[in-house]
Amino acid sequence: MVQDVLSEAEEKMKKAVTVVKSELAGVRTGRASAALFDRIMVDYYGTKTPLKQMASISTPEAQLAIIQPWDKSAISAIEKAIMTSELGVTPSNDGNVIRLPFPPLSEERRKDFVKLVKKMSEEGKVAVRNIRHGARDDLGSLEKEKLISEDEEKRAEKRVNELTDKYVKEIDGLLQRKEQEIMEV
């Protein structure tokens, strides 16, 4: 039973780290990346559809992204979705593809992005700590029901704390790498 609580907590913590990783990938750095478009939803015939399901996205240069929609009639909807996103780029199209030039980030914009990634990583760490709290509650109820001893509960709580520290440290590492990426000129 203790092992079930521990493995469930670890699985949830891994998912929290994965969510943080994907959110950080969507934050713009000084260069274009296909991951920037992962969270963009396009209003396609009244249905919110992920952009990556509607077009191929490539980055032939560090400062340029090219989106080639499979349905040419969706170009204007895709452009509108990009304009309303927080990417801060202006699309241009030639009827077949959409080109997105990414201008170099100003120092102020870089600092704004750093604040944003810090907030994202803090939310991830809070999620990991909430998982720890839930696991501790589960262990406490197992001990109250006399299904495990007090010593087993203490050992399991120690293990939960170790898992929490491990995943919080992993999130901190992701944050540090993303900050360096953003501040790199």
- What is the pLDDT at residue 66? 92
| Shared domain check, 17 and 39 | no
| Shared domain check, 160 and 113 | yes
Percent of the chain exceeding pLDDT 90 equals 41
pTM over 0.85: no
Alpha carbon distance 137, 61 (integer Å)? 51
Asked if 128 and 16 touch (Cβ cutoff 8 Å), the reply is yes
Alpha carbon distance 181, 175 (integer Å)? 10
What pLDDT, in 10s, does the model give residues 142-175?
A: 888 888 888 898 999 999 999 999 999 999 999 9
| Shared domain check, 175 and 118 | yes
- What is the pLDDT at residue 159? 95
CB atoms within 10 A of CB 22: 12
Print the domain residue range for 39.
34-101
Domain ends where: 82, 101, 120?
101
Alpha carbon distance 169, 167 (integer Å)? 5
DSSP assignment of 101-151: E-PPPPHHHHHHHHHHHHHHHHHHHHHHHHHHHHHHHHHHHHHHTTSS-HH
| Shared domain check, 130 and 97 | no
| Shared domain check, 84 and 39 | yes
